[in-house]
Amino acid sequence: MKKIIFGVDLGGTQIKLGKFDFDGLIDKYAIDTNISDEGSHIIPDIASFIKGNLKKDEELVGLSIGVPGPVACGVVLGAQNINWLKVDVEKEFHKFFPNIIVGVLNDANAALLGECYFGSGKGYKDLVMLTLGTGLGGGILIGGEVYEGATGSSGEVGHICLERNGRSCTCGLKGCLEQYVSATGIVRTAKEVLLNSKEESILRDKDLTSKLIFDSAKVGDKLAIEVTERVTDDLACGIASICNTINPEIVILGGGVSAAGSFLLKKVEEKFVNYAFYSLRFSTKFALAVLGNDAGIYGNYQNILGKIK
């Protein structure tokens, strides 16, 4: 029998599933997430999909799932997007597959683990990953292990205070880093810059997106450059706070905003030295994430590999 591991990335609208053997990815799939009835269909849906996608000569030995909420000791402590309260994932999956190894990770931590073992973090044991999307997520790996924190809330780097009494954040606090460097934060900064200047700009009267802002800066638009300078300075300041605390070998930037690529990375790296403590100022490496949307399924695969070996 061929031993199979499933890596699952559970999102609010879609569930991504990766089927792996010990050599790597065999196939990947996506199914819709049914969040009705307190999300009680999610685990049975995943279990029946996996059962239907195992060949006669294949045996499921492990399954790990990444969820959009805090996780501690294998228990999900609530995930609003999928209507979960406290769910003991291992217990629930064992009802369908009694003899397999079950793992559960916070989704950002799963992406971190995937990127670390199969992406641009390969070979590093202490790293930080920031996911710059609509919000700003993060994950911390120490000594090759995901650091979850006492209540599963480590890596909430989006809510580092960048500016006291600054912009209101969805979390209820003020001045959170996320409000300045996420896709939404970048657009907000651009609006401020446009409002305070009379200078001509490609950005005027446009539907602003972080992509348009970075693209305009790349072709030399003066106001777009001002926005990207501010945003990358904010980001560098936030990253330095994290690095001054845990001193990672490498910082990986992922998520939609990181599509701005080396332009973004270079600016952040340059500005980082202005905020980082001297002993880590020039030793901290920076890289872009490479696995994109697959990072989660790879991270969950690694979670099981780590438990088997």
> Which stretches of the chain bind Zn ion, using CB under 5 A?
159, 169, 171, 173, 176
Our CB check for Zn ion shows the closer of 12 and 175 to be 175
Our CB check for Zn ion shows the closer of 143 and 172 to be 172
Q: What is the largest CA-CA distance in the chain?
A: 70
Our CB check for Zn ion shows the closer of 159 and 267 to be 159
In the bound complex, what is the minimum distance in angstroms from residue 161's beta carbon to Zn ion?
Answer: 9
Query: Contact 268/304 with Cβ under 8 angstroms?
Result: no
Our CB check for Zn ion shows the closer of 104 and 162 to be 162
In the bound complex, what is the minimum distance in angstroms from residue 166's beta carbon to Zn ion?
Answer: 10
In the bound complex, what is the minimum distance in angstroms from residue 309's beta carbon to Zn ion?
Answer: 38
Structure tokens at 294: 């697959």
In the bound complex, what is the minimum distance in angstroms from residue 164's beta carbon to Zn ion?
Answer: 13
In the bound complex, what is the minimum distance in angstroms from residue 131's beta carbon to Zn ion?
Answer: 15
Residue with tokens 């460097």: 181
User: What is the C-alpha separation between 10 and 207, in angstroms, rounded?
Assistant: 31
Q: What are the E-state strand segments in the chain?
A: 2-10, 14-21, 24-32, 58-67, 71-72, 75-79, 84-88, 101-106, 127-132, 136-142, 145-146, 250-254, 285-288
Our CB check for Zn ion shows the closer of 120 and 154 to be 154
Q: What are the E-state strand segments in 126-258?
A: 127-132, 136-142, 145-146, 250-254
